[in-house]
Amino acid sequence: MPIHITFNPFIMNTLLKQISIIQRVDQLIRLQATGSASALALKLGVSKTSLYRIFKIMKALDAPVVYDTLQQRYCYLEDVRFNCGFYSNALFSKIPLTNKIPDAAKPNLQLPHSILEREQQHPTFK
């Protein structure tokens, strides 16, 4: 039986716009050029409410984003980058296809809490 998918252009446009804004926020955070919420919203051409919704989405995707009150800008607590799209398999050819993490990589690895909890509850992931 064929699967029928209904295409809603409004939902697709909204999703693409949000992804675009997240990419721009990510770029500005990594450039240390966000400023305050008001300044960032102005740079992005969105309201502060929309900006806070974007941060909520980013945090749901495990972005370690926080506001630095001393420097008055947003920053990441660890070295991360947002990627959304399709990439050549050649980029990933050196990544092992197992769930086992090489011992050399373990000290630098910071897993999201949800993954750590899953590994503790289900040792088969190790």
Report the topology of domain 9-76. Arc Repressor Mutant, subunit A (1.10.10)
Whose tokens are 């990627």? That residue is: 83
Per-residue pLDDT of 33-89, as tens digits, reads 999 999 999 999 999 999 999 999 999 999 999 999 999 999 999 999 998 888 777
Distance CA 21, CA 14 (A): 11
Q: Report pLDDT for 12.
A: 85
- Domain definitions of the chain by residue range: 9-76, 89-125
DSSP type of residue 105: G
Q: Report pLDDT for 21.
A: 96
φ/ψ (deg, to 5) at 85: 155, -170
- Residue 19, Cα to own-chain centre: how many angstroms? 10
Question: What does pTM read for this prediction?
Answer: 0.65
Between the alpha carbon of residue 113 and those of residues 41, 62, 69, the distances in Å are 29, 9, 25
Distance CA 55, CA 11 (A): 19
Mean pLDDT of the chain: 79
**Structure tokens given for 17:** 């716009």
Please indicate whether residue 105 or residue 12 has the higher confidence score (pLDDT).
12
φ/ψ (deg, to 5) at 26: -60, -45
- At 64, is the secondary structure helix, strand, or coil? coil
Distance CA 126, CA 122 (A): 8
- At 63, is the secondary structure helix, strand, or coil? coil
